[in-house]
């Protein structure tokens, strides 16, 4: 895989695993993260270039993409992975948290996508992969803000894909389920279900790079649930949520276990 690939939010979790998987496939990978020290450490561990990146800033994002292209040539793939996940009752979500979540999760993806397309469309080649979430199609109590942000990412990605469909550039969304990263700190898995690992999402990204398609659900077995979700009666959805504990997972959680993560995303 001789491609130049930039990954945002690459210092930890899904971003780190994705960068490693792509590098292992032979890609020239560059990572960016708002945590400069963590980005540098991740870059050293991976053996890739790492730069500070604030995805909410057009100037910062543009500079990051410029630096990504300097050593290896034009950008082939941008993986918009950076995101945060505040949880809890909707009435307890501060306006500051709401703005921060939407700014990073939605506007950050929009800025990155637009900047990447500005480089790719004139060449008639390239691929933007936006890490969304099943939360974008499966609303869950205690996750309203994150649900809203990821629903926006899914809609934005699909509309953009359709717009550039015949211009040689691919735009895709990845919809992971619960994944063992800091985002789910202090929460429990749905009853009878096992969380994904970051490597599972990374594998889906690698597959998309090799064979582009509009959307990848992880794990793949949940694709059917996504497709028929809008046809299921509300009473059935609520019964399923109670059965698996989805009605309380993000309302009844270990606040102490999330303190470190919450402090970092609000810094």
Other C-beta atoms lying within 10 Å of the C-beta of residue 26: 10
Banded pLDDT at 14 (limits 50, 70, 90): very high
Q: Would you state the pLDDT for residue 101?
A: 97
Under a CB-based contact definition with an 8 Å cutoff, are residues 251 and 89 in contact?
yes
Banded pLDDT at 238 (limits 50, 70, 90): confident
The β-bridge partners of 128 are 78, 171
Catalytic residue of the set 51, 146, 253, 261: 146
Q: Provide the H-helix boundaries in the chain.
A: 13-24, 36-46, 58-72, 95-102, 108-120, 144-164, 198-210, 223-228, 234-244, 255-265
Q: Would you state the pLDDT for residue 72?
A: 82
How far is 90 from 219, CA to CA, in rounded Å?
Answer: 28
In this predicted model, what pLDDT tens digit does every residue of 58-93 receive, in sequence order?
999 999 999 999 988 999 999 999 999 999 999 999
Q: Would you state the pLDDT for residue 103?
A: 98
The β-bridge partners of 8 are 32
CA 1 to chain centre: 22
Other C-beta atoms lying within 10 Å of the C-beta of residue 110: 17
146 is a catalytic site residue: yes
In this predicted model, what pLDDT tens digit does every residue of 155-195 receive, in sequence order?
999 999 999 999 999 999 999 999 999 999 999 999 888 89
In this predicted model, what pLDDT tens digit does every residue of 184-237 receive, in sequence order?
999 999 988 889 999 999 999 999 999 999 999 999 998 887 777 777 788 888
Under a CB-based contact definition with an 8 Å cutoff, are residues 232 and 191 in contact?
no
Q: Would you state the pLDDT for residue 23?
A: 97
Residues 6+ apart with CB under 8 A from 200: 176, 179, 218, 219
Instruction: Classify residue 88 as left (phi > 0), alpha (psi -120 to 50) or beta.
Output: left
By CB atoms closer than 10 A (0-12, 13-18, 19+), residue 194 is: exposed
CATH number at residue 190: 3.40.50.720
Region 9-21: mean pLDDT is 98
- Residue appearing with tokens 């500070």: 52
Counting the structural domains of the chain, the total is 1
Supply the range of the domain harboring residue 228.
4-265
How far is 177 from 132, CA to CA, in rounded Å?
Answer: 10
pTM: 0.94
Under a CB-based contact definition with an 8 Å cutoff, are residues 195 and 180 in contact?
yes
Q: Which two tokens stand for residue 140?
A: 């869950």
Q: Would you state the pLDDT for residue 267?
A: 82
- If we measure between CA atoms, which residue out of 88, 133, 84, 136 comes closest to residue 248? 88
Beta-sheet strand order (sheet of 77-80): 49-52, 28-33, 4-8, 77-80, 126-131, 169-176, 215-218
Under a CB-based contact definition with an 8 Å cutoff, are residues 255 and 186 in contact?
yes
Check whether 24 has a pLDDT greater than 80: yes
28-33/4-8 β-pairing: parallel
Average pLDDT, the chain: 95
In this predicted model, what pLDDT tens digit does every residue of 84-134 receive, in sequence order?
999 999 999 999 999 999 999 999 999 999 999 999 999 999 999 999 999
């Amino acid at each position: 895989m001789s491609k130049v690939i930039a990954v945002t939010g690459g210092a930890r979790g899904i971003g780190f695993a994705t960068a490693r998987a792509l590098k292992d496939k032979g890609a020239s990978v560059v990572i960016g993260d708002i945590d400069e020290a963590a980005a540098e450490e991740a870059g050293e561990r991976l053996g890739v270039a790492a730069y500070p990146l604030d995805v909410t800033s057009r100037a910062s994002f543009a500079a990051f993409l410029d630096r990504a292209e300097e050593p290896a040539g034009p950008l082939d793939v941008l993986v918009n992975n950076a995101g945060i996940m505040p949880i809890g009752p909707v009435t307890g979500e501060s306006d500051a948290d709401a703005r921060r979540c939407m700014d990073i999760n939605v506007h950050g993806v929009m800025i990155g996508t637009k900047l990447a397309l500005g480089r790719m469309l004139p060449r008639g080649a390239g691929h933007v992969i936006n890490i969304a979430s099943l939360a974008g199609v499966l609303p869950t109590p205690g996750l309203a803000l994150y649900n809203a942000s990821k629903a926006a990412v899914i809609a934005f990605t699909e509309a953009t894909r359709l717009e550039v469909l015949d211009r040689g550039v691919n735009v895709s969304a990845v919809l992971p389920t619960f994944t063992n990263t800091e985002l789910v700190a202090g929460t429990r898995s749905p009853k009878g279900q096992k969380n994904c690992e970051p490597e599972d999402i990374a594998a889906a990204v690698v597959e998309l790079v090799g064979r582009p398609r509009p959307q990848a659900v992880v794990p793949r077995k949940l694709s059917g649930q996504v497709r028929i979700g809008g046809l299921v009666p509300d009473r059935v959805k609520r019964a399923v949520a109670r059965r698996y504990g989805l009605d309380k997972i993000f309302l009844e959680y270990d606040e102490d276990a999330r303190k470190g993560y919450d402090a970092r995303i609000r810094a």
